[in-house]
Each structure stands twice: as C-alpha cells, then as structure tokens.
C-alpha cells in the first residue's frame, strides 16, 4: 500500500484533524474531503488518508465503522507494535546485561547500560525498514523517535525493574538459567505494560501509527 504522502507531516488544529479508520494515522479533514476521501456511514463522517485506504474502507465499511471490530483491529495492531518494539529492545537489554555481568558492574550500572542500549537497538530496528523504503535517515530517526519513545521507555522501566527484583538476575550471564527465567518474566511484564500504552497512542493517531503509514497493510 502506498503511503508515500505521509513523508510530509499532517498539520492542522485538533478540530481540523481526524484519524484514518484503516491506517490509524492523522488526516487533515479538509484535504481528505477535497481529495474525495471522505465517507459518511450512519450519519458519521470518516476521513481516509490515501486511496488504498479508501478502497479497503469501501470494500468492508463495517470493518472500520463497527466499534467492536475497529477496537479489535487497534488491539491487534497494538500487540504487533508492542512485540516489534519488544524484540528491538531485548537485543540491547541482553547485550547490556552481558557486558555488565562480564565486567562485574554494579546492578545500577548494568541497568543504565542495558537501558541505553535498549533504546539504541529499539530505534535501530524501527529505523532500518524506513531507510530501506527510501526515507532519509534523519527523517526516519525523527519519525521513530516520535513514534516509539513512550513505548520503549515503558518497556525499559518495567523490564529492568523486574530484573532488579529477581534475586541474582543482574549478576548472571546468558549461560545461567536464572538469567533466562528472569528475562522471560521481565519481557512478559514489559509487554503487558506497553500494550495498553500502544493502544492508547494508536487510538489518537500517535505512537506506532506514525510509522505504520509507511508500511504495507494487508
């Protein structure tokens, strides 16, 4: 699906903006209506961000206007975004903990290193696909910074908090079972904490919705 028009930020006051029910990205109402991308169903107006979303909406309007179905779509997208972000963060977290335990860092030093690397790896995982799609690196990193920071921050706080609470977890390397048990628990807790955050952001056209418009939709 072509969302190349989103390389330019959507501007307008809150009253002038809506959220595309298909891609869950911000849309300028006046621009959408002028382009013929406004639809009205049961007296409610819907503004689509691109022609591909219009085709999807016209083919299955109930999928995007029925609240339970639409909520399911947002929840599913939020889960996918959370998993994607979690995998990116986990890379940096594991590298940080491995370095910290190998060199005998204090727990707070290991947490600081792991948190820093989780942000770097999390941003990198989200930025790479955008750069491969043709977006300039600076534009991509700015977009990812705006989209993923809250989610990564939530995950990092919860993940490291759980690791600190599990006795001995921060003193074990990747070969020790305690590390993997505590890591599994911490990542699961991070997912549970970040998922509702991503749902909240998506429903407001923020968070992963900002980068979602640059990827293909099924």
Q: Would you state the pLDDT for residue 19?
A: 85
Instruction: Show which of 22, 45, 65 is a domain's final residue.
Output: 65
All residues at 6 or more sequence positions from 145 whose CB lies less than 8 Å from its CB, including other chains? 123
Q: Would you state the pLDDT for residue 70?
A: 57
Could you tell me if 119 and 148 are in contact, meaning their C-beta atoms sit under 8 angstroms apart? Answer: no
Exposed, middle or buried by CB within 10 Å (0-12, 13-18, 19+), for 2? exposed
State the total domains in the chain.
2
Q: Would you state the pLDDT for residue 159?
A: 87
Query: Is 218 among the domain residues?
Result: no
User: Which among 97, 112, 60 is positioned nearest to 172, based on CA atoms?
Assistant: 97
The answer to whether residues 113 and 20 belong to one domain is no
The answer to whether residues 109 and 15 belong to one domain is no
User: Which among 127, 120, 117 is positioned nearest to 147, based on CA atoms?
Assistant: 127
- Residue 190 sits at the vertex; the CA angle it makes with 205 and 109, to the nearest 5 degrees, is 115
The answer to whether residues 36 and 111 belong to one domain is no
The answer to whether residues 144 and 185 belong to one domain is yes
The answer to whether residues 168 and 93 belong to one domain is yes
46: its two tokens? 């819907």
Instruction: Show which of 65, 81, 103 is a domain's final residue.
Output: 65
Question: Helices (DSSP H) in 18-66: which residue ranges?
Answer: 29-34, 51-59, 61-65
Q: Would you state the pLDDT for residue 153?
A: 92
The answer to whether residues 72 and 169 belong to one domain is yes
Of all helices (H) and strands (E), which one includes residue 96? helix 67-102
The answer to whether residues 74 and 182 belong to one domain is yes
Query: Is 217 among the domain residues?
Result: no
Query: Is 208 among the domain residues?
Result: yes
Domain housing 39? 4-65
Query: Is 58 among the domain residues?
Result: yes
Q: Would you state the pLDDT for residue 112?
A: 92
The answer to whether residues 11 and 97 belong to one domain is no
- Listed as ranges, residues in the chain with pLDDT below 70 are 1-10, 66-73, 170-174, 205, 207-218
Query: Roughly how many angstroms between the first and final C-alpha of the chain, as a whole number?
Result: 8
d(CA 144, CA 84): 13
């Amino acid at each position: 699906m072509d969302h190349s028009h989103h390389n330019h930020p959507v501007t307008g006051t809150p009253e002038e903006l809506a959220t595309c029910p298909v891609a869950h990205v911000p849309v300028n109402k006046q621009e959408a209506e002028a382009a013929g991308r406004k639809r009205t169903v049961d007296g409610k107006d819907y503004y689509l961000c691109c022609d591909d979303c219009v085709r999807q909406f016209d083919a299955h309007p109930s999928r995007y206007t029925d609240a339970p179905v639409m909520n399911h779509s947002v929840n599913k997208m939020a889960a996918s975004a959370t998993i994607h972000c979690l995998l990116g963060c986990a890379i940096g977290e594991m590298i940080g903990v491995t370095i910290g335990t190998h060199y005998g860092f204090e727990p707070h030093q290991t947490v600081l290193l792991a948190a820093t690397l989780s942000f770097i790896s999390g941003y990198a995982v989200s930025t790479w696909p955008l750069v491969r799609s043709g977006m300039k690196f600076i534009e991509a990193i700015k977009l990812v910074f705006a989209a993923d920071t809250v989610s990564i921050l939530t995950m990092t706080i919860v993940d490291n908090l759980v690791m600190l609470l599990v006795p001995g977890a921060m003193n074990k390397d990747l070969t020790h079972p305690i590390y993997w048990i505590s890591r599994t628990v911490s990542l699961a807790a991070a997912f549970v904490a970040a998922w509702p955050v991503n749902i909240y952001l998506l429903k407001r056209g923020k968070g992963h919705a900002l980068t979602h418009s640059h990827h293909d939709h099924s």
